Amino acid sequence: MTGSPALRRLGLLTPALVTIAVLVGVPLTLLFWISLLQKGGSSGVDWASVPSLANYIRLVWEEDFDGTMILNTSYLVILLRSILQAAVTTGLSLLFGLPVALWMAGLSRGQRDLMLLLITIPFWTNLLVRNYAWLIILREDGWFSQMVDFISPVGPIQLLYNDLAVVIGLTYSFLPFMILPLYAVFEKFDWRLLEAAHDLGAPRSRAIRRVLIPIAMPGIAAGSLLVFIPCLGAFVTPALLGGGKTLMLGNIIQMQFGASRNWPFGATLAVVLLSLMLIAMVTMAIWRNRRVR
């Protein structure tokens, strides 16, 4: 290859650019285009309809029988609940993942590798199967449920088919995504820095707050994004463990593309979901940048 360096760089970049364009650009454009169309026919999309923002309006406003628009908050409620569930799941993953990652970083080489293997083993099994397993565990006559009932001071607790079950299932599913990035920063962490903090008068808890956590922040941020974003779009776990009662954004989207055969509205919801994720990522990036400054 000859020519100017800029041209050569472009040449080298071409495969990557083409891949991104075909696998990301085209589907996203298509999705956005469909969100502007109307539903129709057996394919779910009326390709001949006039593009409009009607679907986006439908998210909040509903046309009454006499043609007046009334506020419809049901989608907003689902949206908020999805965000809340994802946030609670992220918080719980952090709560459980932090000690585990810390503990792992202190193990010997061989033990660490074993732990990493154990943490990745669930990925060998389909998510659906693992959620069915939770179905059995949380069932009223399941061992876990029985145990909880046994020690519960307020009588039997309904564990299945509610928000709690969904949060348990989601936390379980996404915990490894929290542990792994946390482990990556703790593994590189120079523990002598904690000694330095002690030396300068900081007791254990203060040293962790002023030294360990700030240095681990990139891992905490990465783990939180890796849990929060897929949680927002999760639909298998809410469908199975929530028993169809506690719908999340992912379930509605799935329904629009499936049973309801309303691709344009499904696409609209998907675009909203994508935008939310984008906002989460950009917020995180800005926040991290500010910390580095």
Asked if 203 is part of the footprint of another protein (rule: CB under 8 A), the reply reads yes
**Tokens found for residue 219:** 């891992």
Asked if 210 is part of the footprint of another protein (rule: CB under 8 A), the reply reads yes
Q: Of 58-66, 133-141, 203-211, 263-271, which part binds another protein (CB under 8 A)?
A: 203-211
Rounded Cα distance between 293 and 291, Å, is 5
Asked if 200 is part of the footprint of another protein (rule: CB under 8 A), the reply reads yes
Asked if 199 is part of the footprint of another protein (rule: CB under 8 A), the reply reads yes
Rounded Cα distance between 281 and 123, Å, is 25
10 Å Cβ neighbour count for 185? 19
Q: Which residues are registered as beta bridge partners of 38?
A: 46
From 58, 112, 130, 198, residue interacting with another protein (rule: CB under 8 A): 198
Asked if 197 is part of the footprint of another protein (rule: CB under 8 A), the reply reads yes
Asked if 190 is part of the footprint of another protein (rule: CB under 8 A), the reply reads yes
Asked if 214 is part of the footprint of another protein (rule: CB under 8 A), the reply reads yes
Nearest residue to 179 (alpha-carbon basis) of 98, 124, 117, 107:
98
From 83, 116, 164, 202, residue interacting with another protein (rule: CB under 8 A): 202
Q: Cβ(235)–Cβ(250) under 8 Å? A: yes
Task: Please report how close the Cβ of residue 207 comes to another protein at its closest, in angstroms.
Answer: 8
Q: Which residue matches tokens 């908020």?
A: 80
Between 119 and 217, CB nearer to another protein: 217
Asked if 205 is part of the footprint of another protein (rule: CB under 8 A), the reply reads no
From 105, 211, 249, 253, residue interacting with another protein (rule: CB under 8 A): 211
The site string for another protein over 101-140 (x = CB under 8 A, - otherwise) reads ----------------------------------------
Asked if 192 is part of the footprint of another protein (rule: CB under 8 A), the reply reads yes
**Count of positions on this chain that bind another protein (CB under 8 A):** 18
Nearest residue to 101 (alpha-carbon basis) of 187, 26, 35, 15:
187
Name the residues that contact another protein, by CB under 8 A: 190, 192-193, 195-203, 206, 210-211, 214-215, 217
